[in-house]
């Protein structure tokens, strides 16, 4: 018998991502978002929920482009900071000493210190209420060599993606089972 809780967006884990955009002057900005997820395999697309008032939203509309970075758990302070202040008031990358390079496929910045980045092209925006639903197509994926196995695949323990959970940010735990595999016992 389940107990009723407050009706809030209570889904875990969520990815704690950092969205990169260029502002009107071409200056790079970064904003943290946990309202994000994958929504399509072919073409690969993701969703991000962003408040209409955010600089990031204004920026991504202008250039139809954004980057979505997966931070490692050791960048938890920087990631949280990117969600605390607006790029309208502070140069967040300068403040954290982070550098970036232009995206290879889209007009948005790739932040060097985050180990994994998805370069995305804007597909659509829809007003839902407090947030705009942004759908974007992933047109390039790149990662630091340090988070890849010798076979060139992502290594979960090296990537150590930041997980958004009930009390804040968590690390990723141990492998519990392979997908499309561990459930075959029940077939």
H/E element, 57: helix 55-63
70 contacts its own copies (rule: CB under 8 A): yes
68 contacts its own copies (rule: CB under 8 A): yes
Tokens read off for 136: 């974007």
CA distance 27 to 23: 5
145 contacts its own copies (rule: CB under 8 A): yes
From 28, 116, 121, 122, residue interacting with its own copies (rule: CB under 8 A) = 116
55 contacts its own copies (rule: CB under 8 A): no
144 contacts its own copies (rule: CB under 8 A): yes
H/E element, 95: helix 92-96
From 89, 150, 151, 185, residue interacting with its own copies (rule: CB under 8 A) = 185
> How far from chain centre, in Å, is Cα 107?
17
Count Cα atoms within 13 angstroms, Cβ side, for 4.
Answer: 1
From 62, 64, 81, 102, residue interacting with its own copies (rule: CB under 8 A) = 81
> How far from chain centre, in Å, is Cα 51?
15
Residue list 83-102, contact with its own copies (CB under 8 A): 83-85, 95-96
57 contacts its own copies (rule: CB under 8 A): no
């Amino acid at each position: 018998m389940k107990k009723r809780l407050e009706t809030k967006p209570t889904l875990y884990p969520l990815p704690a991502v950092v969205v990169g955009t260029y502002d009107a002057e071409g200056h790079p900005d970064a904003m943290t978002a946990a309202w994000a997820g994958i929504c399509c395999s072919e073409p690969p697309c993701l969703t991000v929920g962003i408040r209409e008032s955010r600089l990031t939203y204004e920026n991504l509309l202008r250039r139809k482009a954004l980057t979505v970075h997966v931070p490692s758990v050791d960048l938890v302070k920087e990631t949280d900071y990117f969600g605390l202040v607006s790029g309208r008031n502070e140069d967040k990358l300068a403040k954290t000493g982070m550098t970036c390079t232009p995206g290879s496929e889209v007009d948005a910045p790739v932040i060097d210190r985050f180990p994994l980045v998805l370069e995305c092209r804007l597909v659509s925006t829809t007003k839902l209420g407090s947030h705009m639903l942004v759908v974007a197509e992933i047109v390039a994926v790149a990662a630091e060599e340090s988070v890849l196995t010798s076979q060139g695949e992502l290594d979960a323990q090296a990537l150590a993606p930041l997980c958004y959970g009930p009390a804040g940010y968590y690390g990723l735990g141990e492998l519990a089972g392979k997908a499309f595999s561990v459930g075959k016992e029940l077939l």
